[in-house]
């Protein structure tokens, strides 16, 4: 059985294509065109404006809508195969699973003036009758007036439905909505669904989408699995709390949805490995939320390093805001509109506490899950993955051989926040290049670990995050909105026609859309994202064990250290959730 997609714009050619496929030994022809219903046949497909062949599938009621075939060879706005839906990696009791209904479909015609009509379809019971009926319909349509409006063809300057990418957003808190705005700005993107377990997140996201499109077409979901089961959705934005990142992303990859995943990646290296494998297996276009790669100053800094403009690289300095201490541990009822059990998901069962899921409780506070080990590694990963990713982008050779890593950190002894509030991690790479990674003060007491006077002496005033590369002939320091070099002329000095150059991106969301359209990797693909996230895990594990470790990047494990290797594995998950 093979899958053969073909779009026929001229109904007179319909019979010729039917005959060609009928004579083929490697395809079974089943389709509906111009109002024929094959939703109950062994195989079926849907398309308006032409013929489409697809492999066997079933349909969800929520997906019964116009289908077009994309000129780039990808189905868009189509009824997709059920076997592309998620074989959910998170197992739940059967009582909680919802099975989709399987209705007959109606052909929806958009006439002049935007009128919408729906015509019932009849069953085609045999192959011979199917072919005869298709020919009759096709020939009849040859003299029928055109009914597809200019907007559907893209003739009025809009993007035709055949060229759109349909996107769903899972996790639409403040960060999710900020990233969502970038997708709404893309002409080729149509956001059709938003999902969150908190009403106070879901409602503003729905308003954001509907106000942008000036309609009420966007659907809301409480369960991410229902959104992923929609075959019309091509890609997803995932911006859930960290402990949900990999469970949701795994399900999305197995449903063959391209994705933008907010950073960091997983709660363990094992989770990262599972997601990388799923993205590779299902050919998913993956964009990691390390958007600094889409900014000119970071690309320029890394190109200076890669082209040897600072001489031989000797040292990399990396820093970011550390986790915050504090947070109330007093149990209180969950906020109204929050499904707290679903929010916890695979995390341990613990009472809700003030500010756990939302900011500003008390006023001015940050949500505490960011800094609680049940849900995240803290800012050693949640913030640190940004400058660590730039360190890797500028010096990918760091993963060419064994890495020695050791670190120390301060962990709060009380309060809801229990991840590192100050740290220093030192890496020594196989070629002798060193990297020093530290956390700046973010509410913690001053100490030697967050004393940056030595780096201020080198770089001048520094932001609360950044990456510095020091070579034999100079240095470059980069942070959001700023690039410093020594000598100063390096910042704008031409690299030359034979220089090593890095990919250009006009925007992180835009980059994902172009990668999907062109079938190419994003600026931060899954393999690079994995390595940046691994640096976070090595840092966290080294500070928790407090001794020197040796990481083998080829085997992806610590050398002769069973205790450290156990920390790479999957965490225990609260029933009934599990990863497999």
pLDDT band at 169 (very low <50, low <70, confident <90, very high): very high
Q: Average pLDDT of 419-437?
A: 98
With vertex at residue 183, the alpha carbon angle to CA 179 and CA 184, rounded to the nearest 5 degrees, is: 110
- Over residues 206-256, the pLDDT tens digits come to 999 999 999 999 999 999 999 999 999 999 999 999 999 999 999 999 999
For residues 13 and 277, give the distance between their C-alpha atoms in angstroms, rounded to a whole number.
43
Query: For residue 365, what pLDDT is reported?
Result: 77
- From 40-44, 159-163, 385-389, 550-554, the region with the lowest mean pLDDT: 40-44
Q: Average pLDDT of 112-137?
A: 39
Query: For residue 148, what pLDDT is reported?
Result: 45
Q: Average pLDDT of 466-483?
A: 97
Instruction: For domain 161-291, give the CATH superfamily.
Output: NAD(P)-binding Rossmann-like Domain (3.40.50.720)
Query: For residue 361, what pLDDT is reported?
Result: 67
Q: Which residues of 331-342 are buried (b: 16+ CB within 10 A; e: fewer)?
A: eeebbeebeeee
With vertex at residue 531, the alpha carbon angle to CA 527 and CA 536, rounded to the nearest 5 degrees, is: 145
- Asked if residue 2 has pLDDT above 50, the reply is no
For residues 442 and 446, give the distance between their C-alpha atoms in angstroms, rounded to a whole number.
10
Q: Average pLDDT of 506-527?
A: 97
Query: For residue 496, what pLDDT is reported?
Result: 87
Beta carbons within 10 angstroms of residue 293's beta carbon? 24
CA dihedral 552, 556, 560, 563 (to 10 degrees): 130
Query: For residue 161, what pLDDT is reported?
Result: 73
For residues 41 and 322, give the distance between their C-alpha atoms in angstroms, rounded to a whole number.
58
User: Is there a contact between 551 and 538 (Cβ–Cβ < 8 Å)?
Assistant: yes
pLDDT band at 154 (very low <50, low <70, confident <90, very high): low
Query: For residue 93, what pLDDT is reported?
Result: 33
**CATH number of this structure's domain 293-325+378-505+525-566:** 3.30.360.10
User: According to DSSP H, which parts of 63-126 are helical?
Assistant: none
For residues 515 and 532, give the distance between their C-alpha atoms in angstroms, rounded to a whole number.
20
pLDDT exceeding 90 applies to what percent of the chain?
69
Pairing mode, if any, of strands 75-76 and 68-69? antiparallel
Handedness of CA 551, 554, 560, 562 (dihedral sign): positive
Q: Average pLDDT of 150-155?
A: 47
pTM comes to 0.75
pLDDT band at 160 (very low <50, low <70, confident <90, very high): confident
Q: Rounded to whole angstroms, what are the CA distances from 31 to 11, 36, 38, 100, 420?
A: 14, 8, 7, 21, 58
For residues 223 and 204, give the distance between their C-alpha atoms in angstroms, rounded to a whole number.
17
Report the DSSP beta bridge partners of residue 434.
315, 428
Query: What tokens appear for 220 in the block?
Result: 């809301």
pLDDT band at 157 (very low <50, low <70, confident <90, very high): low
Q: Average pLDDT of 372-381?
A: 98
- Asked if residue 5 has pLDDT above 60, the reply is no
For residues 559 and 313, give the distance between their C-alpha atoms in angstroms, rounded to a whole number.
26
Q: Average pLDDT of 38-42?
A: 37
Report the DSSP beta bridge partners of residue 194.
169, 220
- Over residues 59-73, the pLDDT tens digits come to 333 333 333 333 333
Q: Average pLDDT of 64-83?
A: 36
- Asked if residue 538 has pLDDT above 90, the reply is yes
Q: What is the mean pLDDT of the chain?
A: 80
Domain coordinates in residue numbering, the chain = 11-93+102-153, 161-291, 293-325+378-505+525-566
User: According to DSSP H, which parts of 326-416 are helical?
Assistant: 340-344, 379-382, 385-394
pLDDT band at 497 (very low <50, low <70, confident <90, very high): confident
Q: Average pLDDT of 99-122?
A: 33
Query: For residue 75, what pLDDT is reported?
Result: 38
């Amino acid at each position: 059985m093979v899958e053969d997609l073909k779009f026929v714009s001229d109904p007179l050619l319909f019979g010729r294509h039917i005959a060609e496929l009928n004579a083929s030994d490697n395809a079974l022809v089943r389709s509906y065109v111009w109002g024929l219903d094959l939703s109950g046949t062994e195989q079926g497909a849907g398309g308006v404006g032409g013929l489409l062949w697809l492999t066997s599938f079933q349909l969800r009621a929520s997906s019964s809508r116009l289908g077009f075939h994309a000129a780039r060879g990808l189905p868009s706005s189509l009824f997709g195969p059920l076997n592309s839906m998620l074989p959910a990696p998170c197992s739940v009791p059967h009582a909680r699973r919802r099975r989709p209904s399987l209705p007959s479909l109606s052909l929806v015609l958009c006439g002049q003036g935007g009128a919408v009509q729906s015509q019932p379809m009849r069953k085609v019971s045999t192959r011979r009758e199917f072919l005869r009926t298709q020919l009759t319909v096709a020939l009849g349509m040859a003299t029928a007036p055109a009914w597809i409006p200019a907007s559907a063809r893209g003739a009025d300057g809009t993007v035709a439905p055949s060229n759109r990418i349909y996107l769903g957003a899972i996790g639409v808190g403040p960060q999710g909505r900020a990233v969502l705005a970038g997708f709404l700005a893309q002409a080729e993107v149509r956001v059709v669904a938003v999902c969150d377990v908190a009403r106070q997140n879901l409602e503003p996201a729905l308003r954001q989408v509907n106000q942008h499109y000036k309609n009420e077409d966007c659907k809301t979901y409480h369960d991410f699995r229902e959104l992923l089961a929609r075959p019309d959705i091509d890609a997803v934005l995932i911006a859930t709390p960290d402990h949900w990142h990999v469970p949701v992303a795994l399900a999305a990859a197995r449903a063959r949805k391209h994705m933008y995943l907010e950073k960091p990646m997983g709660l363990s290296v094992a989770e990262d490995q599972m997601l990388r494998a799923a993205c590779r297996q299902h050919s998913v276009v993956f964009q990691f939320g390390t958007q600094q790669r889409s900014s000119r100053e970071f690309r320029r800094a890394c190109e200076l390093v890669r082209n040897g403009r600072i001489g031989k690289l000797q040292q990399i300095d990396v820093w970011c805001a550390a986790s915050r201490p504090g947070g109330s541990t007093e149990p209180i009822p969950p906020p109204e509109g929050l499904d707290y059990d679903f929010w916890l998901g695979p995390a341990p069962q613990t009472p809700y506490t003030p500010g756990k899921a939302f900011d500003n409780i008390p006023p001015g506070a940050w949500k505490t899950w960011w800094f609680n080990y049940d849900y995240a590694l803290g800012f050693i990963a949640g913030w640190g993955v940004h400058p660590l990713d730039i360190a890797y982008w500028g010096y990918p050779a760091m993963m060419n051989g064994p890495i020695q890593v050791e670190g120390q950190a301060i962990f709060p002894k009380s309060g809801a926040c229990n991840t590192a509030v100050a740290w220093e991690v030192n890496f020594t790479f196989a070629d002798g290049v060193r990297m020093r990674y530290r956390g700046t003060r973010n509410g913690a007491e001053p100490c030697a670990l967050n004393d940056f006077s030595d780096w201020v002496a080198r770089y001048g005033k520094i932001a609360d995050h950044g990456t510095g590369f020091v070579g034999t002939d100079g240095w470059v320091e980069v942070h959001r909105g700023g690039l410093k070099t020594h000598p100063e002329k390096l910042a704008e000095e031409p690299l030359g026609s034979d220089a090593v150059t890095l990919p250009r991106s006009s925007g992180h969301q835009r980059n994902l859309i172009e990668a999907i359209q062109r079938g190419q990797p994003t600026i931060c693909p899954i393999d690079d994202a994995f390595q940046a996230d691994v640096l976070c895990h090595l840092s966290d594990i080294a500070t928790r064990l407090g001794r020197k470790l040796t990481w083998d990047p080829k085997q992806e494990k610590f050398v002769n250290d069973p205790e450290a290797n156990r920390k790479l594995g999957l965490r225990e998950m609260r029933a009934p959730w599990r990863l497999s």
